[in-house]
A and B are shown apart, each in its own frame.
Chain A
């Protein structure tokens, strides 16, 4: 079947494809929008949760730092108020007490030291030798102590530069210094109490927190000016390999801030450590948020894929359920014919509209078939009319000749022959009439032929002989009446009429598989091959010298009209040898019912 095309040349889609495509596109769009919305919502929520979590962690860390720094201040307070103020350094030392304080907190402090106003070491723990030539008054922690005597001062991390360590060890410390009053001989003098806090305690504390985060989030600590006190990548920063946006922190207030640093946006959470003004900075790079939501992203993608595939599967089912009845009906309409009607099964599983459409098409087909049958019937009638006309072409011709012979016999006193002729003629007409039937048993047709030949032998005495070599078993098969007479007539008039007793006409019948053959053979003058070829053509002008051929053509046409194109006459002839004309038609056992069906049912019943 040719593919249908639109007027613009495009290929139209099937209903199934249209439904599947449109449903799938709509569903895909809905899934994608929903997935994107859910993912965005999750990402925003995740970002918020991460930020809140970082805020809580920052707060807890600041509390830990404050606890540590408060411990150090309390240690300094205890050393000052409970020990230094209670001693007169003229003849007393505080080495024992200072050692006790050192021992109690040595995991967090590197040393304790008390210096006079001139920078001389008054007492220190642990006991160590101060570096030669060292002038502590030039140290920043010393000068800051006197700058604000009422306060305790925390320095930035630095390498301790106080004591000589022959093991080449140097310690990073944060110096907690304060101005103190040292009583010597009852006279209070100024001095500085120095607690060198172990910087590694802070480093360890913040390293542990940073190590617990694998998403790129980290914390660092600055003083109020933004100078880094601790950073997980401090060595890289010091070496100039990495950098940090610590200077910007100076201007940030406590809370959550967003910034862009080195092209990357990040969330920064600031919390100030009380007393020191240090700022703990928690940094969440945008990549951390991405890492956090990456699993969700995969999950959403997976769900979208599964849903999409499931939707395709469901859509196929929906499309099939909608288009299936249409396709079934379409198929039924395509295959519909007068013998293959549109059945109820082709639309009864469809929707109301499909059923309505199916019934309408069914009605149209039924009406169409009826119209077709009417046309066929009309054609049949027309054919029968034509047959009758062809049949009627025989009777006058033969009747005239026979009656002429009878007249001749009566006039010449051959009354017995005349009676015989009239009897034979009566039989002929009886069979010709056959109660108006066209289909008769072969037996009757052969009788008719014999009667006819009897009359002709009277008309042409001693001109030829007739022999009927027929099979009695074939007598009760159907044939169209009056098919043999024209053949015999031709055999007589164009074959043996002038052969003076040498002429012979033989009538045979036989059955071959499903067909029956009746032949009329004569040993007359015969015909050339090219003349034979034109005998059964409608245009028989070339066979005109051998008679009109109307009889043969009529028989041939009648058989074909009744039984189909593959049946009819076959003629074989050779000049001076003779002619054989064979009638072929289907072997249909004769009964009244068969006859009726053949005559009423038309050609399709016969075949």
Chain B
């Protein structure tokens, strides 16, 4: 047989052998492509608090849908920006994506720029300001201005025609951009109706009745203050409580009537979309990240058990 023929037959046999080998490899692994699971870390303050339950349900569902390995860091409440920055820096090591709630919006630009060069960064609640689409950074947030306005309007509607309303505000952490917006919008709306808060304090130290002048209405602009106010005012008959919250406790006191009305951002949606956005960025690094806005609901005792609010407030089946 000629050398050329021998080479031809050799090549054909090699082709057959290669095909069979590839097949044996492929069939042995069940034809499943290699799983490339992205690692995404989540850093929020006081992560075990039930206020994050809906948010956590959202990120877990999304992680399941997008086959993402989730590292939900167990944290206590951040005492300082430095502590949080250290934690974020550690969490970003080895992670493909990072979902972060910033407790302090000031002086973190450099940190965001640095992390977003190597890690896809999604900012919770404060994203609108820090979203830098040319980098791997975007935000997901509720419209805090609209939340502040809505909360004021609920109070004004419930007390339509009344004058001389005395309102005290628990403004929460005003280092946070979102909290600043809520307070500003809330106060401005009240001002438009001639109402000026009797007091504005960041949080309750000790007992509310002891530390602050008596008011008709207490308004808590964050979940933590709202929970504290619930405990202080649960037996009060002459002070109404309004606020922004989302924990089981605040829902319970809304159900009991301690809270007259509460604004609840859709935390499930926020968590889900945060993971989805990180995944999309990791899949398509050339497509700019988009900051997203989630909805919120004004809930009172009358509509707490509506089908729409039930699924929003109680996403977890017990």
Contacts and interface: CB of A to CB of B under 8 A. Distances in A.
Interface of A: 131-133, 156, 158-159, 161, 164-166, 168-172, 199-200, 203, 233-236, 238-241, 294-295, 298-299, 302, 305-306, 309-310, 312-313, 316, 320
A172 B310 CA distance: 9
A298 B16 CA distance: 15
A234 B256 CA distance: 28
Given A294-B31, A312-B12, A313-B9, A238 B315 contact: yes
A166 B266 CA distance: 24
Contacts of A316: 5, 8-9
A158 B31 contact: no
A255 to B, nearest CB: 30
Contacts of A241: 269, 272-273, 276
Given A200-B317, A238-B312, A302 B5 contact: no
Nearest to B11: A309
Interface string B300-318: 0000010100111111011
Given A302-B20, A312-B12, 6 more contacts: A158-B307, A170-B248, A170-B251, A236-B272, A241-B273, A313-B13
Q: Please tell me the size bucket of the interface on B.
A: 35 or more
B94 interface: no
Contact of B23 (A166, A172, A236, A302): A302
Interface string B127-142: 0000000000000000
Contacts of A166: 252
Contacts of B5: 316, 320
A298 B318 contact: no
B65 A236 contact: yes
Contacts of B286: none
B89 interface: no
A236 B61 contact: yes
Nearest to A166: B252
A133 B255 CA distance: 11
A161 to B, nearest CB: 5
Given A172-B318, A238-B311, A295 B268 contact: no
Contacts of B243: none
Contacts of B23: 298-299, 302
A156 B31 CA distance: 42
B111 interface: no
B268 A239 contact: yes
A235 B252 CA distance: 21
A170 B314 contact: yes
Contact of B58 (A239, A295, A305): A239
A158 B310 CA distance: 7
Contacts of B16: 306, 309-310
Interface in B50-74: 50, 57-58, 61, 65
A233 B12 CA distance: 51
B61 A306 contact: no
Given A158-B305, A238-B311, A313-B12, A172 B317 contact: yes
A343 B255 CA distance: 111
B108 interface: no
B272 A239 contact: yes
A235 B9 contact: no
B80 interface: no
Contact of A306 (B19, B248, B310): B19
Contacts of B318: 169-172, 200
Contacts of B272: 236, 239, 241
A131 B252 CA distance: 11
Contact of A131 (B50, B58, B255): B255
B27 interface: yes
A309 B61 contact: no
A161 B58 contact: no
**6 smallest A-B Cβ distances: which pairs?**
A238-B311, A168-B248, A168-B252, A302-B23, A239-B269, A313-B12
A309 B8 CA distance: 11
Interface in B30-84: 30-31, 50, 57-58, 61, 65
Contacts of A240: 269
A310 B61 CA distance: 50
A160 B178 CA distance: 34
Contacts of B251: 168, 170
11 contacts: A131-B256, A156-B307, A158-B307, A165-B252, A200-B318, A235-B57, A239-B311, A295-B27, A298-B27, A306-B16, A310-B16
A312 B13 CA distance: 10
Contacts of A159: 305, 310, 313-314
A295 B30 CA distance: 8
A159 B61 CA distance: 21
Contacts of B19: 302, 305-306, 309
Nearest to A311: B12
A329 to B, nearest CB: 18
B9 A164 contact: no
A238 B266 CA distance: 11
A242 to B, nearest CB: 9
A309 B26 contact: no
A323 to B, nearest CB: 12
B31 A298 contact: yes
Nearest to A295: B31
B249 interface: yes
A241 B268 CA distance: 10
B15 interface: yes
Interface string B1-31: 0000100110011011001101100110011
Pick the most buried of B57, B61, B266, B313: most chain A CB atoms within 10 A of its CB.
Answer: B61
Nearest to B267: A239
Contacts of B22: 302
Given A298-B23, A313-B13, A316-B8, A161 B305 contact: yes
B315 A306 contact: no
A28 to B, nearest CB: 14
A203 B317 contact: yes
A366 to B, nearest CB: 31
Nearest to B24: A302
B28 to A, nearest CB: 11
Contacts of A133: 257
A17 to B, nearest CB: 13
Interface string B270-296: 001100100000000000000000000
Contacts of A310: 12, 16
Contacts of B269: 239-241
Contacts of B268: 235, 238-239
Contact of B27 (A200, A203, A299): A299
A298 B20 CA distance: 11
A309 B314 contact: no
Contacts of A156: 307
A161 B254 CA distance: 13
Interface in B174-188: none
Nearest to B248: A168
Contacts of B317: 172, 199-200, 203
A227 to B, nearest CB: 9
A498 B31 CA distance: 114
Contacts of A309: 12, 15-16, 19
A203 B61 CA distance: 15
A207 to B, nearest CB: 9
A159 B252 CA distance: 13
Contacts of A294: 31
A295 B28 CA distance: 11
A316 B30 CA distance: 35
A165 B252 CA distance: 8
Contacts of B50: 168
Contacts of A306: 16, 19-20
Pick the most buried of B13, B30, B65, B255: most chain A CB atoms within 10 A of its CB.
Answer: B255
Nearest to B295: A240
Contacts of A158: 305, 307, 310
Contacts of B26: 298
Pick the most buried of B249, B311, B317: most chain A CB atoms within 10 A of its CB.
Answer: B317
Nearest to A207: B317
